[in-house]
Amino acid sequence: MNKRGFFLSKLKEKSGAAPDRNLIRKVMKKLLATLSAILALSASTASASDRIIDFSALPQPIQQFAKANFKDKKVAVVKEDTNFFGAVTEGYDIVFADGTEIDFSSDGTWREVSAKTSSVPNAIIPEQILGYIRDNFNSSPVVQIERKRYGYKLELASKQELKFNKQFVFLGMD
């Protein structure tokens, strides 16, 4: 009797029936697919990396934006977000000593500004949005602003989150 037959016969003796080989194959395929998906997911999350750079290494538009709007803040860290191979820059982050952070896209457009201990400068908030906040939220300070596909998302110091479309029309609260 070959080994395979021996083990199957032992299983048959214990359980009263031989195991279904098709079921075993299906389970093994699902297990292999699951493990492959986990491996792919872990590789993709590890694909982006941050590299610390000097402020002077930032593109000029980003340097000008930071100097114009955050001139009284001290830069703590500047990071370049690159792909796994370090070949393609996906964006930049500036972190100031007070915890304020600015996230830029690779073309130099700010994506998010988050103020930890102060407020977002009014100069970077569209005037129509500032007017709406002034009229409806007692000029509550903005502590975070994000550019989204639909427009803007803001968080006020009062923890209220507001959404505006690209034409600065109020969409609602989160």
Which range is least confidently modeled, 8-17, 20-29, 75-84? 8-17
Q: What is the pLDDT of residue 19?
A: 63
Compute the distance between CA of residue 92 and CA of residue 110 in angstroms, rounded to an integer: 9
Higher pLDDT, 7 or 30: 30
Confidence check: pLDDT of 47 > 50? no
Q: What is the Cα gyration radius of the chain?
A: 27
Average of pLDDT values for 101-111?
96
The pLDDT mean for the chain works out to 86
What is the CATH T-level fold of the domain 49-173, as seen in this structure? Inhibitor of vertebrate lysozyme, Ivy (3.40.1420)
Q: What's the pLDDT score for residue 18?
A: 60
Cα torsion angle, 56, 57, 61, 67, sign: negative
Q: In percent, how much of the chain has pLDDT > 70?
A: 78
Q: Residues 104-123: what's their mean pLDDT? A: 96
pLDDT band at 52 (very low <50, low <70, confident <90, very high): very high
